[in-house]
Each structure stands twice: as C-alpha cells, then as structure tokens.
Structure 1
Amino acid sequence: MSDQAALLPFPKHYLRTAVSIAFFLPGLIFASWASRIATIQQTLNLSDAALGAILFCIPVGLIVSLPAAGWLISRIGSRRLALVGIISYGVALIGLGAAISVPMLMGCMVAFGFASNSVNIAVNTQAVATEKIYQKPIMASFHGLWSLAGFTGAGIGTFMIGKNINPFYHFTGMVVIVIIALIITYRYLLDDKGPAEARQGFAMPDRALIKLGIIAFCSLICEGAMFDWSVIYFKKVLNAHNGWMGAGYTAFMCTMAMGRFIADWFAHRFGLKQTLQLSGLLTAIGLLIAVIFPRIPTAMLGFLLVGFGVSSVVPMVYSVAGKSKTMSAGMALAAVSTIGFIGFLVGPPVIGFVAGIFSLRVSFVLIAVMGLFVTAISTKVKL
C-alpha cells in the first residue's frame, strides 16, 4: 500500500469508485446533448452551416474558462471544482433543451462549454491522483467509464427520439439522476486542496506538454466530430430512418468504451508510441470507409474502427501529462486538456462550415486527415 493510500480516511477502492462515477456523470450529460442535436436543429430550423456557426459558442465558453479553471483548481481543489462543475454542466444542459430561440441556444452553449472544461480538468486531476495511489496504469479505465456513459446516453437518447420526447424533459430527467449520484459519491473523492503557498497561478506549459496537447487536439477533433455529427451523417448522407439515426453514434461509443478498458494493458504490452500510431491509423481508415462506402452497414463498420482509434489517445496523453516535472498535475492537465479540448469543440463547427460549402462526406475526409496527424506526430515525439 502506498503512503498516500494509508492516509485516506476510507478504503482506496471507494476513491476509485467515486472517481469512476465522476467520469460517468459528465459523460452522460454530454451524450444526452449529442444524441439530440439533430432534434434541436430541426426544432429551430437550422441549416448545417448555421448549426456549425452556433456550435462555435461552446468553444467560446471553453476559452473563457481557461484562466478561471486553472485558477479555481489551484484555489479550491479538484474535488470542489468537480462538484460545482458537474452541477453547472447539468443546468446548462437543461437550458439547451429549453432553448426556444437561437440567442437562447447560443447563451446556453457558452455556459455548456465553460462547465465542460472545468469538469474535464477536475475529474482528470482526480484520476491522476488515484493512479498514483494504485501505483499502476488505470487512467484509461476511467475514460472508459466516460465512454460507457456516452453509450448509455446515446441509447437513452435514441429511445427518447423514437418516443418523440421533448429534449427539455429528457435533459431534466438525466440531470436529476446526475445530481443525486454526485451528492452520494462526493465525500469519497480526494480532497486535494493545498496550502496557499503551494497554489499556482496560470503558467505557460513547456514544449513537452504542448506536443502532448497537439496529439490530443488532433484526436479530439475526430472524437468531437463523432459526437456532434454522426447522427446527422446517418440522417442526411445515409438517409437512415429514426430508429437507425443513432446507430453509428452508438457503434462508435461502444468500441470507444471497449478500447479504453483494454488500453492500459495494450500500451504496457506494445508501448505508448505504437499504441498512439495505431490509434491514428484506425481513426483515418474508419472515417474513409464511412465516406467511400456510404451505406449503413459499412458506415457502422467505419465508426466502430473510429471508436477503437480514438479510445486510447486522450487517457494515455493525460496520464503522461499528469506526471509532469515542471508543473503540478492539475495545472499540467489544465494546459494539455485545454489544447486538446479546443479541438474537441472547434472541430464540429468547422465540419458544419465545410459541409455547408461542400458536403458532409467531404468534411469527414478532413477529419480522417486529423487521424493521420495523430500517427505522424506520435512518431516524432519522445514518449
């Protein structure tokens, strides 16, 4: 048992369970939103280009949160930031479901982006601390819970679409469940609020962290595309009926969750560099299959490969970043996750613009190139 584990006021598996739930809950929130984007687009009568422009409000919220999230995690710790962030995330989700106009939707998206980045930094800081206590790689398993939540949220969203349930009622029900679970598990998260003299303000990341951030950026562009556009791709390119609109998204989420539960073992067996190189190739190949063969079975096969491709990149990058020797784990993760999350949030609106000028199939080719960049950059970076 590590010294840190001995200092815990409860068994360490309580901490791991609580952190796992802390990953699952925001995954459920985001998947609920992603599964109903097409519904909201139709309700507000938005074109692909207009939706792409409006989606830029989410990265605006993220950018606004950059100095705030880093400052907050150094002042109140990741446990308190996770509590405030997840509740705020849920409230913003309800606002998205209640939006009856474009300005209202845009305002809620800014709040959604602000909360999402804060939550991302907080829960990953908790995961790094838990990994140190266990003294073995477990980061990817936490991200697997986020993906499993996405799979669950996608399934619930598909059911809600089939039953024509209004997004507001759908989102409100999910947030009630999230808040109850959060209240129950909060006490078992690690209280990492440090003394005032140990707190850090904003600092520029070093070159190694920037490179890790770029790898995450490229992979998260692909991941964000799947979350925001896979349902629309099935609807508009493949002409899928309501019952099949979420099939590609569900396939992607399934393999992403599976991949994250085996990523720690795979990286230990074959090496981190080789894992990241393979991840980029699978992402590119999967997207190209979906573009070249625009049929439901082949597109589902392609999305399955994309899920495996993106599954290991972010947890592996975050795990390395959390061991930085130049910054605290929280600040290093804030730097790397911020760079990566910009790709996650900027990618989808860019796809909307490209789709408006050309087509969704062309925009998905652009995302495939991002997968190749993951492979190329991973080859040149020392890991």
Structure 2
Amino acid sequence: MKSLRLILSNPRYFAPAFVFASLNIWFGTWAIYIPAVKEKLRIDKAELGFAIFFLSLGVFTVFPVASKIINRLKVGRATWLGVVMSSIFALFPLLVPNYYLLCASLFLFGAANGFLDISMNTLVTEIEKEDRQNFMSAMHGFFSLGGVIVGLGSLLAPIINNPALHMALTVLLVLVVNLAFRKRYRHIVAAAIEKEPFSLKLFKPLFVLGIISFVSMGSEGAIVDWSGLYLKEVTLAPEALIGAGFLAFSAAMTLGRFLGDGISQRIGSIKIVALGALIAIVGYVMVLSGNTILAITGFALNGLGFSVMVPELFRIRGNVKGVESSQGVAFIAGSGYSGFLIGPVILGFLAEEFTLKTSFWALLGCAAMIFVAIFAMSRKR
C-alpha cells in the first residue's frame, strides 16, 4: 500500500492516477447506456455489435502512430491532449441521431482512448524513472477504481433520466479535476535514449513480452465475459452466486494492483510476473474443481495473479535499452488489447466445439505458458 499512500499524499503522483481513473469513468459511463442507445436508434444486436467494433477499430488505428505523436508533443502535453480529446469524444455516442454517426463517434472515442492509454502509461514510466519510485501497478488500480465510481454513479441514472446529460455532467466534473492537476505533469518530457538498430537480439524479448501481454489480457477478457456462465452451467451455482465470480475477480484485481508496487520493488518485475502466473495457475485449478465456492475463490486468485502482470509489462517494456518508452508501451498496449478482444471469442469457439470446461483448461495452459516464458526470460537475462 506504500504506492497508494504516495499517490494520495503527493499531487505529482495523484495527477496521473486520476487520469487513469478518468479513462474508465468515461468508458464505463458510455457502457451503462449502451442499452439506451440501442433503443433510441432502434438497432438490433448485430448492428450494435458492429458499431462497437468501430470503438476497437479506433483504438487499433491510433496505436501505430501514437508513439510518434507523443514524442513530437512531449509525453506530458500528449497526456493532457488525450484527456481533452477523450472528454470531447465521450459525449458524441450519446448525442448522435443515427446509426452511421454512432459508428463514426465510437471510432473517434476509441482512438482518443487508445491515444490516452499509451500516453498516460508512458508518462508514468517516465515519472518512475525520474523519481526512482514504483507505482505503475497502483495507477492501474486507479483505473479499476474508476469502474467502481461508474457503478456508484449509475445509481443516479434514474434520477437524471437523460443519458446525454449524465455523460455531460460526468465529463465536466472529471475534466475540471484534470484541469486543476494538469500542471503537475504537462512539463514532463521523456528521457533521451540512444536508439539501437533492429536486431533479433532485441526482437526476441520484445516478442515474448508481447505474447505474455496478449495471453494475460486475453485471459482477463475471457474471465470477465464467461465466469458467470461457467458458474451457472459447470458448477451449477445458485442464481444469487452467478455474478460472484466476476465480483471476486474484480475486487482481487483492484487489491492486487494497489499492493503490487511494493512487492515489485522488493523482488523485481520479472519475479512478480512469474509469481502472478503461479497464483493464476492455482486459481484455474480451483475453478476447474467444479465446486462453486472453490471456483469463486479461484476467480479471486485469477484476479490477484493477473492484476500485476500488465502494469509490470508496461514497466519492463518502458525500460528496455535502445527502445523509446512510448514505443514500448504502444507495443504492450496493442498486444494486450488484441488479446482482450480476441480471447473471449476464442474461448467461445472452444466452448461451442467442445465444452466450457475445456476452454478453461486452455486458460490454465495459457497461464502455464506465461510462467514458462517469463522463467526463460529471467534465465537469459
């Protein structure tokens, strides 16, 4: 919890932490009104799914160019630009009058979110380097905390009874707080590095980190989407406990991210990722037991294990010698988002062709693969 105390006691660290929370607040507020948008525009589920695809398309479109823009603007100013763009484009999906403008607005919202994701993680990497402090994991904890804030804010939805107004008030409040703290990071510039030419020696560890990011975030996405159905169909959980797996996973992930920095500082990034993989493996073994209580406990262990992986990958990748931190973060983000979007689809295919339990055996194999890959990296290192 040292990093959490550090963030809450120092505006230099709270400023980027609130940016992390803001991203999830904007996105989560849009998400709770998806049914309202569907009803307003009179579109079916297939059309809605295609529109949401444009959100992902916007994210992926910005990844290849984000690092160049960040380097040109400087990382502090780029982060503030991302905050402003996300604030503006968060409003559009709830205001558009037709389906085609919905697709366009979601593309812009996705691009703004993707750009902010890369710039804010690069910003934290640079602050960590300057101050020799570890708090990347806690920053991702604030992202999770943003989701909790959205959940509490959703209680106001029936009172406000206007999706666009709710989003506008949310955007205004979040933007005002960011405006007050922006001077704490706008001046920050990425440290100059000596670039190295492309070589297999550099590419191999980067490729391994990309695979780990893909698999870990793919597993996260799969648990978010499929844990409830697993408890219902495989463990035959009562109705009241069907959502308990996701709740346990989310709570443990938030806690793990606030604890992760202190552990990382003591044992190092490589070891904490390996430890996270081991915890996730134990979690999957409990999930596969078929017992409801053990499965819920297993989902909690999955959340705890995966909580430290992506923040540590950003930290490792942002400090690779000869590679700009913005490029490293963009690579991890791109790999991770790909896994988060594709993972649940692959899991669904396996569940359809075989059984849902078979697909969770595959997730256990993925966690084992992460452990083997990171262990091999540590040996070579």
Q: TM-score, normalising length from structure 2?
A: 0.76
Q: Please give the alpha-carbon distance, in whole angstroms, between the structure 2 residues aligned to 1:105 and 1:76.
A: 30
1:140 CA drift (Å): 1.6
Give the partner amino acid of 1:46. Answer: K
* 1:80 maps to 2:77: yes
Match in the other structure for 1:338: 334
Give the partner amino acid of 2:299. Answer: F
Task: Select the structure with the greater relative contact order (CA < 8 A; seq sep ≥ 6).
Answer: 1
Structure 1 stretches of 5 or more lacking a match? 1-11
Q: Please give the alpha-carbon distance, in whole angstroms, between the structure 2 residues aligned to 1:151 and 1:39.
A: 21
CA contact (8 A) 2:269 2:316 kept: no
1:75 CA drift (Å): 0.8
* 1:216 maps to 2:208: no
Q: Deviations over 1:286-323 (max 9, x none)?
A: 4565566485x555433322220111111111112222
Residues 367-382 of structure 1 mapped to structure 2, 5 A cutoff: 367-382=363-378
Q: Deviations over 1:105-135 (max 9, x none)?
A: 5444433332222111111111112112321
CA RMSD of aligned residues (A): 4.2
Q: CA separation of 1:375/1:169 partners in 2, compared to 1, >3 Å: closer, same or farther?
A: farther
Q: Which has the larger radius of gyration?
A: 2
Q: Deviations over 1:166-188 (max 9, x none)?
A: 65555444323221222111111
Q: CA separation of 1:168/1:278 partners in 2, compared to 1, >3 Å: closer, same or farther?
A: farther
Match in the other structure for 2:259: 262
Question: Percent identity of the aligned residues?
Answer: 25
Match in the other structure for 1:30: 27
Q: Please give the alpha-carbon distance, in whole angstroms, between the structure 1 residues aligned to 2:50 and 2:281.
A: 25
Q: CA separation of 1:99/1:245 partners in 2, compared to 1, >3 Å: closer, same or farther?
A: farther
Q: Deviations over 1:215-268 (max 9, x none)?
A: 122111122334556678789998987x98865444332211211121122234
Give the partner amino acid of 2:330. Answer: A
Q: Please give the alpha-carbon distance, in whole angstroms, between the structure 2 residues aligned to 1:181 and 1:230.
A: 35
Q: Please give the alpha-carbon distance, in whole angstroms, between the structure 1 residues aligned to 2:210 and 2:224.
A: 20
Match in the other structure for 2:127: 130
Q: CA separation of 1:104/1:133 partners in 2, compared to 1, >3 Å: closer, same or farther?
A: same
Match in the other structure for 1:187: 183
CA contact (8 A) 1:279 1:308 kept: yes
CA contact (8 A) 1:51 1:352 kept: no
Segment drifting more, 180-189 vs 216-225: 216-225
| Selected match of 2:150 from 135, 153, 156 | 153
Structure 2 stretches of 5 or more lacking a match? 1-8
| Selected match of 1:66 from 47, 51, 63 | 63
Give the partner amino acid of 1:329. Answer: S
Segment drifting more, 75-84 vs 107-116: 107-116
Q: TM-score, normalising length from structure 1?
A: 0.76
CA contact (8 A) 2:136 2:311 kept: yes
Q: Please give the alpha-carbon distance, in whole angstroms, between the structure 2 residues aligned to 1:278 and 1:247.
A: 24
Give the partner amino acid of 1:277. Answer: A
Segment drifting more, 97-106 vs 338-347: 97-106
Q: How many residues align?
A: 365
Q: Please give the alpha-carbon distance, in whole angstroms, between the structure 2 residues aligned to 1:268 and 1:115.
A: 32
Q: CA separation of 1:285/1:198 partners in 2, compared to 1, >3 Å: closer, same or farther?
A: closer
| Selected match of 1:13 from 10, 14, 17 | 10
1:91 CA drift (Å): 4.0
CA contact (8 A) 1:31 1:151 kept: no
Give the partner amino acid of 1:264. Answer: D
Match in the other structure for 1:280: 277
Match in the other structure for 1:8: none
CA contact (8 A) 1:121 1:330 kept: yes
Q: CA separation of 1:233/1:62 partners in 2, compared to 1, >3 Å: closer, same or farther?
A: farther
